[in-house]
């Protein structure tokens, strides 16, 4: 069994895994412990690694109890302000879960620091489980029976409520959305989640427009309270893996002409309807 430690990074979310031996395949007990930490903390950070894409993918799949398919011909993408066709090369990302519009929730997402020149815009995380657990009683009672629609509207765009030109917008060729309960229950852990996001939630179903935006603003203010945001400052060799159902991630502003920030992005198991890439408003 590989001896390692799990050190919390924040009172409610995130942990750093230290001392994990990756020179050989992980034994079942090690994987069980890592999965328990992943389910508990939502975000795992490993630093100082030198891993190729195959090992990166193996670790991501192991955290949700799966093995990468042998015929998986998807390649990693790159979040980069230097790499040609890098995803989200510059600008700011609002809090969101990847593919909130997919019929099957995307279980796990990861980034690995390939080339990072400090200072680098941090990736930020919030816990949707903690947000639900700490809702004011009156607000929770109101949300218990409500549903929310996530995805791309009739015009094919995300709503993106950031309010400034730095925010990255995204567009699909056609409308694509999905309705889930605001208090969505995590399919693996069973925890209730405050399942709305500033970037991806189109509406609370059935509310008039003004009431909808007022309620969403109240929810977002609770979800994204600064004291409950975990920030990860990137270094080369960092691997950050997160539960994409239980946590949301966002990013400060990256400048195209700023320090290099090239991160390899690997998804865990992905449903067939999620294998569609949106067009981003900021691209090179």
Total count of domains within the chain = 1
Task: Say what the pTM is.
Answer: 0.94
Give the residues of the chain that fall short of pLDDT 50: none
For residue 236, the enclosing domain spans: 5-90+104-114+232-247+260-280
Instruction: Flag whether 82 is in a domain.
Output: yes
pLDDT digits 0-9 by tens, 36-56: 999 999 999 999 999 999 999
SS3 62: helix
Confidence at residue 139, expressed as pLDDT on a 0 to 100 scale: 98
For the beta carbon of residue 262, count every other beta carbon within 10 angstroms: 21
Confidence at residue 155, expressed as pLDDT on a 0 to 100 scale: 79
Confidence at residue 175, expressed as pLDDT on a 0 to 100 scale: 81
Confidence at residue 75, expressed as pLDDT on a 0 to 100 scale: 64
What would the two tokens of residue 171 be?
Answer: 């567009």
Distances (CA, A) of 183 to 42, 102, 195, 199, 218: 17, 17, 6, 18, 15
Confidence at residue 181, expressed as pLDDT on a 0 to 100 scale: 98
Confidence at residue 178, expressed as pLDDT on a 0 to 100 scale: 94
Instruction: Flag whether 121 is in a domain.
Output: no
Confidence at residue 129, expressed as pLDDT on a 0 to 100 scale: 98
Instruction: Flag whether 28 is in a domain.
Output: yes
Confidence at residue 154, expressed as pLDDT on a 0 to 100 scale: 80
């Amino acid at each position: 069994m590989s001896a390692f430690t799990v050190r919390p990074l924040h009172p409610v979310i995130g942990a750093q895994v230290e001392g994990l031996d990756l020179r050989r395949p992980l034994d079942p007990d090690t994987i069980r412990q890592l999965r328990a930490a992943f389910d508990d903390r939502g975000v795992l950070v490993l630093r100082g690694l030198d891993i190729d894409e195959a090992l990166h993918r193996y670790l991501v799949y192991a955290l949700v109890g799966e093995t990468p398919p042998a015929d998986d011909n998807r390649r990693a993408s790159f979040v980069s302000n230097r790499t040609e066709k890098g995803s989200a090369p510059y600008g700011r990302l609002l809090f969101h879960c990847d593919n909130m519009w997919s019929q099957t929730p995307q279980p796990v997402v990861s980034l690995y620091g390939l080339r990072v020149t400090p200072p680098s815009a941090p990736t930020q995380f919030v816990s949707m489980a903690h947000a639900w657990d700490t809702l004011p009683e009156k607000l929770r009672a109101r949300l218990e029976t409500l549903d929310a629609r996530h995805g791309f509207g009739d015009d094919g765009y995300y709503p993106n409520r950031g309010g400034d030109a730095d925010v990255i917008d995204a567009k699909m060729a056609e409308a694509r959305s999905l309705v889930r309960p605001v208090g969505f229950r995590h399919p693996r852990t069973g925890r209730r989640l405050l399942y709305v996001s500033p970037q991806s939630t189109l509406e609370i179903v059935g509310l008039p427009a003004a009431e909808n935006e007022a309620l969403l603003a109240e929810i977002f203010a609770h979800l994204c309270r600064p004291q409950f945001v975990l920030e990860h400052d990137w270094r080369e060799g960092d691997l950050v893996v997160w539960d994409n159902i239980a946590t949301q991630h966002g990013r400060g502003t990256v400048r195209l002409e700023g320090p290099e920030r090239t991160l390899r992005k690997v998804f865990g198991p992905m449903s067939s309807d999620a294998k569609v890439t949106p067009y981003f408003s900021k691209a090179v």
